Amino acid sequence: MGTDYVRLKREALETFCQQVFQSLNLSEDDARMAAAVLVAADARGIPSHGVARLQRYVNGLQTGLMLPNAPVEVLVDTPSSIVLHAHGAMGAPVSVKAMESVINKAKTNGAAFGCVRDSNHFGIAGYYAMMALDADMLGIAMTNTAALGVPTFGRRVMYGTNPLAFAAPAGEERAFVLDTSTTVVTRGKIEMYERLGKELPMGWAVDKTGQPAKDAQAILDDMFHRVGGGILPLGGAGEEFGGHKGYGLSIMVDILCAVLGGAPFGPDLSDTETSSARVSHFFGAISIDTFRDPQEFRRDMDRMLRGLRNCPPAEGAERVYFAGQKEFEKEEECLRIGVPLLEKIYDQICMIGDDHGVVSPPILRKG
């Protein structure tokens, strides 16, 4: 299978996605937000959550699983908390608005948290956590997903990949941005291996008997049909390498996103053949100035992160990174030479554009 890439200007790719979303009746503002989150994933080197998912979003909007004009209902609104019922709205726009709300509340009250229920796939969690950085705040974002993960010592999916993100600002250094699934990998990563025709590495997933799985397509089918098998928790199988810790983190995300907000969780969430499950999210913002002077905090963050960067690398390794550093560097590269897409994905989005009367974004270069 081809693994050739093309590169596109980030703004052109965002405009293209926005116009596709507007053709499906999203408002201009919601379409812009959805496009920005989607393209940010590719620009930050997370293609599993980028425009490769555009077709699933289009399918969701066409089938009514995602509703372009859903009335977002405020269920709870206190000085430090908010709970929104999205009623099937697009995940990214309602999540941007929810994070903006908790940031504004935190400016007055020091910290604030929010839940969004009955939403849809919201892209990369780090996008929302990073929204707090310019306000001198710590940002938190999480979402549950369709059940794709197997518990420690289990062999049937019981919870999602349930990603969480945490962002902390620094001064001269890049911000610390942890954005990770609580399973070894996400389904999107397995889908990438399926598109590339590659075998899954040992330790990513187990089959219906609970044994290591290698066939990406087979494990995707087994998870979808709930016949057994799924993705392992962060840490891997068993307890020797801490798999039970990743399992616990996954359940924590389900508690904060769903149980706290009164939404479905675990095996009650499942995808369709064409789109994603209705899911729930959790957001938080903590104002640094309620603890200490933000500039002093940033200074100490610089010292911490610089120390991590300067840690002597292991033999055979080139350098040591801290969370978020690679993604910021990837964004800078994309600004210089364009956002990379597999040619197969580029051809796919061009077909989507043709179907919706949207001109395809031009290729800057190949490779």
Per-residue pLDDT of 166-183, as tens digits, reads 999 999 999 999 999 999
User: Residue 62 pLDDT > 50, yes or no?
Assistant: yes
Buried b (16+ CB within 10 A) or exposed e, 5-32: bbbbbbebbbbbbbbbbbbbebeeebbb
Query: 80-127, pLDDT tens digit by residue?
Result: 999 999 999 999 999 999 999 999 999 999 999 999 999 999 999 999
Residue 235 is predicted with a pLDDT of 95
Lowest mean pLDDT among 54-63, 128-137, 220-229: 220-229
Residue indicated by tokens 């051809």: 347
| Mean pLDDT over each residue of the chain, to the nearest integer | 95
Residue 184 is predicted with a pLDDT of 95
Q: What is the mean pLDDT of residues 43-49?
A: 93
pLDDT class for 270, splitting at 50, 70, 90?
confident
Query: 215-252, pLDDT tens digit by residue?
Result: 999 999 998 888 999 999 999 989 999 999 999 999 99
Q: What's the full length of the chain, in residues?
A: 367
Percent of the chain with pLDDT over 70: 99
Please answer whether residues 18 and 359 qualify as being in contact, where contact means their C-beta atoms are separated by less than 8 angstroms.
no
Residue 2 is predicted with a pLDDT of 52
Residue 367 is predicted with a pLDDT of 77
Percent of the chain with pLDDT over 90: 89
pLDDT class for 146, splitting at 50, 70, 90?
very high
User: Residue 253 pLDDT > 70, yes or no?
Assistant: yes
- Going by C-alpha positions, the residue among 137, 177, 120, 156 that lies closest to residue 305 is 177
CB within 8 A of 253, min separation 6: which ones? 142, 143, 144, 160, 162, 163, 164, 182, 282
pTM (2 d.p.): 0.94
Q: Any idea where the domains of the chain sit in the sequence?
A: 5-294+324-366
Identify the sign of the CA torsion 231, 235, 241, 244: negative
User: Residue 165 pLDDT > 70, yes or no?
Assistant: yes
Q: What is the mean pLDDT of residues 5-20?
A: 97
Q: What is the mean pLDDT of residues 19-24?
A: 98
Burial of 194 (0-12, 13-18, 19+ CB in 10 A): middle
Residue 296 is predicted with a pLDDT of 98
Query: 328-352, pLDDT tens digit by residue?
Result: 999 999 999 999 999 999 999 999 9
5-294+324-366 CATH: 3.30.1370.60
User: Residue 1 pLDDT > 50, yes or no?
Assistant: no
User: Residue 195 pLDDT > 90, yes or no?
Assistant: no
